[in-house]
Structure 1
Amino acid sequence: MAETDGSAERAADVSWTLLDVEELTEAYWTVVAPAFEADGGDPRAEKPTHRWLREHGFRPLLYALREYHDRTFEQFWRDDLGLEPPAQGPKWATGDERTVDALESFLTSRRDRKGLADSSIDTLRYRLNRYVRAYGDANGTDDLLSPVARDGDAPAHEAVDACWAAFDRLHDELDGGRTKRRIHLAVENWYAHLVRRKWAAVNPADGLDEEFDWSTDSGGDADGDTPCLTPSHVRSLYRTAADSEGRLLVLALCAWGLRPNEVAGLSAEQFVLDVDDGDVPFIDFRERKNGPGEVSLLYGREELESHLAAREREDDWNGYLFPSPHASREHVSRWTVWKRFERLSDRAGLPDAVDGVSTSPKLGRRFWYDAYSSSLDVVLGSLDEIAAEQGSSSAEVVLHSYLSDARARQLRRAHMRDRLAAAFEGEASEP
């Protein structure tokens, strides 16, 4: 039984039963696949056996698929991951060669020009494939390129009708509003890529999200999304914390969106606070679950700097934000983070469960994720007036065509910072 590679511990970090199918797909590529590859397997060509999954701590994945999504692992591997035997590899839900070329061109561009990791490319492939499959089912054809092609003679409204018919089908098939928004964003970006490459004359997905109610509130799962803490929950936790370590625990989970194991191992050297004007301080993760990355420090810098200054005056401080009281460990474990959060939740008077899901650090990270996801909607809303003045068909056109990536990121961060300040302080942040 091979558990020395740490796969069992990484598997335990995932609340498998809380994930929808798309999130299970992403978790497969970020947790299961690396463990399988480290054990000598080829995650894109070989299907892990049930025995391997059980021995490496992934039994909850099998349970979640069976009990919550009515799937066997084989069905999940084939239909949701889109994997086939080695001779075929990942398979698109279309046999039309031009459509496949257009899809692969987009993924190649995202990988080579945007620098997306393989796991992100696999997730993007999954979202596009859900649309391709729905398009074929709704329209009776797997040729998605001809209706939008520049050299075609199909009226633009027919291409739009076909695209909308596919999303009508997805809207009926899928429960989560967040999942539908993600699929729409992937599809809209794909068509925009084709327009830029002069392969397509129209983006039929442009503005389509305005026709649906895919919104989610911050407090629950009205449309089937995973529940998260509300701003009042976060505020209660932060105000109840009796010391700097407690406040940093809440900040790390809810304002920085970290996982419990990442919180446990935070060290002073990971915080990059001295940045150029206009840039945002960040936390540097050289070895993160989804690969090396940076997490923007949009809120809580003052509390962090105060804590670090106090720690640096201690002769025996080892550099970790949450040093272990035991000589055998340098920092606390993720279970200690979990228990400290539970005790703080009890003192703050938080409910035992939020919409049927036990109150845990996972819901703090979900609060951060929900706030970050909603920032795009707010940015788009602020661009409606500009779109009207410029004669653009929607705010999405302004966002993708007229705003630089840096400016769009700046706008999203501004909203995120305000939302975090509103949760922690009950008021907007300073600009």
Structure 2
Amino acid sequence: MSEQQHNWSRKSLDELVEYYTEHIHQEFLADSTHTDQPYPTATWLREHGYSGIRYTLREHHDRTFTEFIQNDVSGDALHIDNGGSESSQRRFDIEHEATEAAVDAYFTRREDRELLADSTLASRRSRFRTWVETYRHHHGTDALLAHADESDKKAAERHRAREVLDDIADTLGSDQSRLTFVADVRPVYSWLTDEGYLAFNPLDGVESEYGWEQPDADNQSLQAADVQQLLAAAETPAETLLVTALPGWGLRPSEVAQLHVSQFALDGDDPHIAFEERKNGPGTVAIHYGVHTVSDRIDQLAAADDWQGYLFPSPTNSNTHVHTDTITNRFKRLADHAGVSVNGQLATPRTARRFWYSTYSSAMVDIRAEMEEIADEQGAQSGTVVWEQYLSEADRRRRRRQAMAAKLTDAFAMENSSLSVQNED
């Protein structure tokens, strides 16, 4: 049944409960591929044609899908225990009520807003449960919030956290798996700290105290799925632009920090950014994705009377832009919230920029293969000869754009592949 046939917005709350109980939940139970959740994820609902119920609940009944399940749907009707013993209501089996509620809020927010992929959420839920269980086994309590709610508790709580990590590390088979475990648990702590539940993150920098060997990441880059997660986690036009500019346009952090509205040509068939000076000389960067992203950011900033045209203006001086380090720190913070890491370490602008170049390199491989086919058909000496002698510069640019657009589709979900793609500095 299509979304239109459901007529979600015409259903009362009671009718939504009835439809969910009799149809959606039964289909969910019959699906052996779902995760350990007792109710469908947002991705499952979308893949099975039920995403409209989430929108209707949010827009017409002022509740998230999770709140709908927990507060409106009868546990008896679903054959799950929503109202039995106290422990049966705890998704993470955390005995300390405030900690359970805060941790549940972290995961619920990411589930409802689809900020992380289902597989990432399942992995992070599982590892955080392991963390809590080990913490409780070591220290006789799982009151994570109570132990880190004041700055003067920092030394004691970091010591407790190291004991827990020591125990868990012994059960993991490699340094990479230990680094990955920390990379999954730390974002939960980071969010709790940012939201004011904690006074500090007891896992900050903890890897530096261990001799775990990091795989050589000199040439590692983000993957398409990583870019998707970063875009999903971006909540403001500035954050979306940040993701677009680094892996999407291949810019350096310093270039992102200095972006000015005067550099952008957004109209026509060749939207691009012009640079008077770059590290490797003057040049332009074609905008293959993100014309609307730039426009949204400009519209947001133009509302301020003192805006001087910088897309990342300094918060303390409207006449200038932010520092390069600010761009790096903002990107790493976003990567932390999105759960995006490269070889167990938070993604950085460098790994983001490498994504652009690895994608461009892959696109050029496809182009060279195409040129070799043309050479064989036309009896030319080689594909290189066809590329250099028989195609105009305009044709070469067009083919580069098309190839890059095809490669970037997975990462940026581009529907219009006609946008130009080029970065020749």
TM-score, scaled relative to structure 2: 0.45
Relative CO higher for 1 or 2, CA cutoff 8 Å, sep ≥ 6? Answer: 2
Rg: which structure is higher?
2
